[in-house]
Structure 1
Amino acid sequence: MDQLGAMRAFVRVVQMGSFSAAAREQDTTQATISKKVAALEKKLGAKLLSRTSRELSLTEVGADYYENCVIILSELDEAEAQVRSQIALPSGLLRVAAPVVFGRQFMAPILVEFLNAYPEIKVDLMLNDKHIDLIADGVDVAIRAKQLEDSTLVARHLFNNPLVVVASPEYLQKNTKPQNPDELKNHNCIVYSMLKSINIWHFEKGNNNISVPVTGSFRCDNGDVILQLVLDGAGIAQLPVWMVDEHIRSGKLAMVLEGYISKPLPFNAIYPQNRYVPLKVRCFIEYLKQKLADNPLYQ
């Protein structure tokens, strides 16, 4: 039995939630993946997975073994990557997670260039605004608009995410334009529900930091939907400048509270804290940083 191959199959079944998904990723059959895991269970003399027609779950022993497998395979991949980085171009599958809007607006346009620059790398891009467990989901690098909170991860700063408060001209014709943050309490504020303090907007003016509670009839975990509601005149929102710049220039949106600076969120590239960072990860992060530096909207 190829124990390492069986361990990799077992880990991907757990991470992807099914034998069929792991089989599709490895370009093989579900039966082949199932046989690998069964052979691993036979060698260990323990049941690793509980399987029913509807769901797949780890046994208590399987959960412990899975964590150990992830560590062992990560160490092996690091050792191989270290050797390859000295003799070859970066290669392999790069699994990247990013927020939906950032992935669509910034990452999608540069992926063709990146893949042309590094033809031996394949990219699996996962767009999701929800929190992702990098280890459990097998993610190499995640792009996040927040401070690093997990000591097992490393953060590489990409840019400070500048925010602006915007509304449509139609909304401002019907409602008095706020002149200071406190007046936001009189407006329908559309909030992004993935932030820790979703109903608090933060501003700076001079040496003063201002935090304002806002309320509204709608909140959402997707920036595209919030943007569309603002364009349709449903209310006021605080959004990244790179997301709304074209609409401001076209006149579809107007900036509100121009004299107040919305406190930016840091955008970071997050990856597991290993002794050696795979070359494909380093190349991807450096490529992102270069492209962001070339774009004035991300300054």
Structure 2
Amino acid sequence: MIEIGAIPVFVAVAESGGFAAAARRLGITKSAVSKRIGGLEAHLGTQLFHRSTRSISLTEAGEIYLTHAVLALGSAQEAEDAVAALQGQPVGHLRISAPMSFGRLHIAPLLTEFLAIYPDITLDLTMDDRVVDLVDAGLDMAIRAGTLPDSALIARRLAPIHSVLVAAPEYLSRQGDPRQPEDLLTHNCLHYAYSRDPMEWVFQGPHGEVRTRTTGTLRINNSETLCTALLDGLGIGRLPTFVAGSHVAAGRLVRVLSEYALPEQALYAVFPERQHMPMKVRAFVDFLAERIGKDRPFWDTEAGLGG
């Protein structure tokens, strides 16, 4: 009998580089993974992995089997997606990745409503500012902000992302209000570590582009934590309006150099290319697009950006 059930386990081990990593990806125990692979090797009558105490690697037979196993797994997924598309109601387990701050502030508050609308969907949300490989991580889709690199992923633009330069009123009363980008050289500028070039700030002003290399006492990889430092009066920083908007509206933060625009980016839903998009994925993307997919999201209005 063909060991069909072992194919996704084998592919997960090969792609993850280990039994423990595959077990985490599949949500099963390491011993269950080992048993599946052992049974598959016994069925095929050959060894698929070289095993050592520190690592595993594919044998020649394993390389050949992997090529066909990936195709078989893809065909099986396409078959499931095609059948699900006929059923009319989204079902299944949906695995999503989202940036930490955006996920906490703007996706988490929507989950109860989404799951009430689609009771046959279960949802696994991972929030991380690092960009992960969707296939390797076993994800159905991801929410990503910024400029997307070229890839085989399908992307749907959800909303623009604008950033603003902000500081607490207490900081500005203490250190003064910059009038032009060059004035930032005398200020404590706080930086988001995952920016492409966190220390260089680019502005579009009345006379064109201005680039300013800034310095400061804090660089951090989370926008909300950066926002906390700004609220505490530590310095001046760039924040996306989806983080800063409510604080600007309440007067806790003040826009700095508001006549100079920071580069615009966008928020995307990305997912692997398939002939049939799973209904559970389409349902979530459409839901997000309806709730936040606007040319001028509410957080831009809160931050005082013009129409």
What's the TM-score once normalised by structure 2's chain length?
Answer: 0.86
Within 5 A, what are the aligned runs for 1:83-162? 83-162=83-162
Letter in 2 for 1:22: A
For residue 305 of structure 2, what is the aligned residue in structure 1? Answer: none
Q: Which has the higher mean CA deviation after the structures are superposed, 205-214 or 131-140?
A: 205-214
- Structure 1 counterpart SS, 2:162: strand
Q: Please report how far the alpha carbon of residue 266 of structure 1 lies from its aligned counterpart in structure 2 after TM superposition.
A: 1.2
For residue 186 of structure 2, what is the aligned residue in structure 1? Answer: 186
Question: What is the alpha-carbon distance in structure 2 between the residues aligned to residue 3 and residue 9 of structure 1?
Answer: 11
**Does the C-alpha gap of structure 1 residues 70 and 224 become closer, same or farther in structure 2, counting only changes over 3 Å?**
farther
* Superposed CA offset, 1:261-282 (max 9, x none): 2222211111112222212111
Question: What is the alpha-carbon distance in structure 2 between the residues aligned to residue 157 and residue 192 of structure 1?
Answer: 23
Q: Please report how far the alpha carbon of residue 131 of structure 1 lies from its aligned counterpart in structure 2 after TM superposition.
A: 1.5
Letter in 2 for 1:158: L
Q: Quick check: 1:190–1:226 contact (8 Å CA) kept in 2?
A: yes
Q: Quick check: 1:19–1:30 contact (8 Å CA) kept in 2?
A: yes
**Does the C-alpha gap of structure 1 residues 67 and 120 become closer, same or farther in structure 2, counting only changes over 3 Å?**
farther
Question: What is the alpha-carbon distance in structure 1 between the residues aligned to residue 148 and residue 74 of structure 2?
Answer: 21
Within 5 A, what are the aligned runs for 1:121-270? 121-206=121-206, 208-270=208-270
- Structure 1 counterpart SS, 2:72: helix
Quote the sequence identity (%): 34
Question: What is the alpha-carbon distance in structure 1 between the residues aligned to residue 72 and residue 206 of structure 2?
Answer: 52
Any gaps of 5 or more consecutive residues in structure 2? 302-307
* Superposed CA offset, 1:184-237 (max 9, x none): 122111111112222222222357233322221221111122111111111111
Q: Quick check: 2:245–2:300 contact (8 Å CA) kept in 1?
A: no
**Does the C-alpha gap of structure 1 residues 185 and 4 become closer, same or farther in structure 2, counting only changes over 3 Å?**
farther
Letter in 2 for 1:76: A
Question: What is the alpha-carbon distance in structure 1 between the residues aligned to residue 160 and residue 298 of structure 2?
Answer: 12
Any gaps of 5 or more consecutive residues in structure 1? none
Question: What is the alpha-carbon distance in structure 2 between the residues aligned to residue 190 and residue 139 of structure 1?
Answer: 33
Question: What is the alpha-carbon distance in structure 1 between the residues aligned to residue 184 and residue 136 of structure 2?
Answer: 41
Q: Please report how far the alpha carbon of residue 80 of structure 1 lies from its aligned counterpart in structure 2 after TM superposition.
A: 1.5
Q: Quick check: 2:97–2:143 contact (8 Å CA) kept in 1?
A: yes
Q: Quick check: 1:170–1:233 contact (8 Å CA) kept in 2?
A: yes
Q: Quick check: 1:48–1:63 contact (8 Å CA) kept in 2?
A: no
Q: Quick check: 1:98–1:144 contact (8 Å CA) kept in 2?
A: yes
Question: What is the alpha-carbon distance in structure 1 between the residues aligned to residue 196 and residue 64 of structure 2?
Answer: 31
For residue 73 of structure 2, what is the aligned residue in structure 1? Answer: 73
* 2:49 equivalent to 1:48: yes
Query: Over aligned residues, Cα RMSD in angstroms?
Result: 2.6
Q: Quick check: 1:160–1:298 contact (8 Å CA) kept in 2?
A: no
- Structure 1 counterpart SS, 2:77: helix
**Does the C-alpha gap of structure 1 residues 134 and 60 become closer, same or farther in structure 2, counting only changes over 3 Å?**
farther
Corresponding residue pairs, total: 296
Question: What is the alpha-carbon distance in structure 2 between the residues aligned to residue 290 and residue 5 of structure 1?
Answer: 38
Letter in 1 for 2:233: G
Q: Please report how far the alpha carbon of residue 183 of structure 1 lies from its aligned counterpart in structure 2 after TM superposition.
A: 1.6
**Does the C-alpha gap of structure 1 residues 95 and 167 become closer, same or farther in structure 2, counting only changes over 3 Å?**
same
